[in-house]
Amino acid sequence: MQRNRKTFIFSFLGLFLFMSITYEILSYFNFFKKNVTIINKTLYSNLLPEPNFKSIYTSKLNFTDRAVTKVSGIKLDILSETNISNVPMLLKAQRYYIPLSFICTKLNYTLDSSNDSISITNKENNISLTETSYEKNSKSGSLRGNLINSNGSYYISISDIEEIFDLFAVFDFQNKKVSLLPNTVKPPEESSILYSDKVALIRLEDFGCGYSNIVDKNQTKIKLITNFLYSNGMKFHVSWMPRFVVPSANFDNDLLVTNNITNVGFVDVLDYMINKGGAIGLHGYTHQSGNDASGTGEEMSKDVNSTESETRAVIEKGIDTASALNIPISYYESPHYRDTDQQKKIISEYFQFIYEPYDYSKKNIYKPDNYHLYVPTPLGRISDPSTDTTRIIDKLNEDDPDILNSFYYHPSIEIDYINFSINGTKINVNYDENSPLQRIVKALKDNEYTTVHINELIDK
């Protein structure tokens, strides 16, 4: 009797130990119950597409072919020196360029462009440039505007000056001035988390050069939001509407046609986002039709641009605009998710990643074939800042393995939580810690989520 009792106890303990070990293994290799796992910052999944996708389309417009024109009447503030008005300035693809030698002199750098190479040095930094890339100390990257060689002199864009020289450009549309101030944003700390199976995606929605984004202070606020995300190590997405149309106001802002300081400021914001962890995607072309305004109207549905030729025209116009402005795009999102199955099929010929539900029954990433991925936003959007923010945070705290922790947010809401002023060369920022984005980022960090870009969800 005693022996049988001991045998039962040992058998029970053995079964319990086996079940515990099995549970831990399944929890660790979470792809058995979840579509995405991160191990040492490398993505793995049995539901990720293969990398060798190729779009059927080559853009008809290219950044290298865009016209270069002279600009006058734009003043510069460079650190403590104000109202500099005698600087030669060029315009290309909605970017202002000034002589590289001029900015180097103002910032006390030594420029050497002999021997078919370009080097910029001071006591702290060694920078080398090609016409399309830079290397600064141990960091390298692509130039957003590339260098322009005009009459034997190199010109560099404001966006690239910001990145290379750690500056922050503030545009003043009324006074036609650009101020280059010290950028005090702190780089993100290296994550101490070696393993995490908790993935999240952030998407900033309906981003175009209209409404609030044609106000200079609001463009600066978007860059301050970008600083916040960057300093907290948050990768994010920006669903961009390349052309902004409001028929009732006779407003049609085509970035390939209308050259002005407002559009230059807007492209500078896109460049800044890219340099600080943002991935840009196409959100239609105008995100409207008929008398509807951009952001509110449909552009793809069973009733709108429903033929194959019309659908392809919408997609290709967006791609052409991005290519002409040198804005890399990594996904497509149809306006209001109204695209039909046929329109989805056409989109998939151009893009590997479609940032929308395949259908509303799928609450996680969905691979319809070996080459494409549909990425939904099951956590929804922030419409009411108080209730929706709390709802999203509650979902993040739950971490349901069957639901992708992905949400979207209109940055036009977040800018209401930011105020700033400029005192000399210092930007004083008052950013409410109770803003929706600040609260959500805190929840992401508290729960040790890893934010990823959509094009990282690939079988490597």
| CA–CA separation, 336 and 313 (whole Å) | 18
Contact criterion met (CB below 8 Å) for 445 and 232: yes
Give 197's DSSP letter: -
Average pLDDT, the chain: 90
**Is the domain of 277 the same as that of 361?**
yes
Within 8 A by CB and 6+ apart from 380, the residues are 388, 391, 392, 407, 408
In the 3-class helix/strand/coil scheme, how is 258-305 assigned residue by residue? CCCHHHHHHHHHHHHHHHCCEEEEECCCCCCCCCCCCCCCCCCCCCCC
**Is the domain of 176 the same as that of 204?**
no
**Is the domain of 217 the same as that of 347?**
yes
Domain of residue 448, CATH code: 3.20.20.370
Residue 198's pLDDT is 87
List, for residues 159-200, the tens digit of each pLDDT value.
Answer: 999 999 999 999 999 999 999 999 999 899 875 544 456 899
Q: What is the count of structural domains for the chain?
A: 2
**Is the domain of 113 the same as that of 91?**
yes
**Is the domain of 312 the same as that of 269?**
yes
Q: Which domain holds residue 393?
A: 195-456
Domain boundary among 133, 153, 182: 182
| 6 domain-assigned | no
| CA–CA separation, 418 and 10 (whole Å) | 63
Helix axes 158-165, 261-275, angle to 10 degrees: 30
| 350 domain-assigned | yes
**Is the domain of 214 the same as that of 147?**
no
**Is the domain of 174 the same as that of 241?**
no
Contact criterion met (CB below 8 Å) for 213 and 219: yes
**Is the domain of 375 the same as that of 227?**
yes
Q: How far from chain centre, in Å, is Cα 428?
A: 25
Domain boundary among 182, 206, 236: 182
**Is the domain of 172 the same as that of 115?**
yes
**Is the domain of 331 the same as that of 231?**
yes
Domain boundary among 123, 152, 182: 182
Domain of residue 98, CATH code: 3.30.457.10
Mean pLDDT lowest among 12-16, 231-235, 420-424: 12-16
Contact criterion met (CB below 8 Å) for 325 and 271: no
List, for residues 96-155, the tens digit of each pLDDT value.
Answer: 999 999 999 999 999 999 878 899 999 999 999 999 999 999 889 999 999 999 999 999
| CA–CA separation, 313 and 307 (whole Å) | 10
Contact criterion met (CB below 8 Å) for 199 and 36: yes
**Is the domain of 215 the same as that of 236?**
yes
Q: Residues in the chain, how many?
A: 460
| CA–CA separation, 431 and 325 (whole Å) | 31
**Is the domain of 176 the same as that of 205?**
no
Query: pTM for this one?
Result: 0.91
412 token code pair:
């036009």
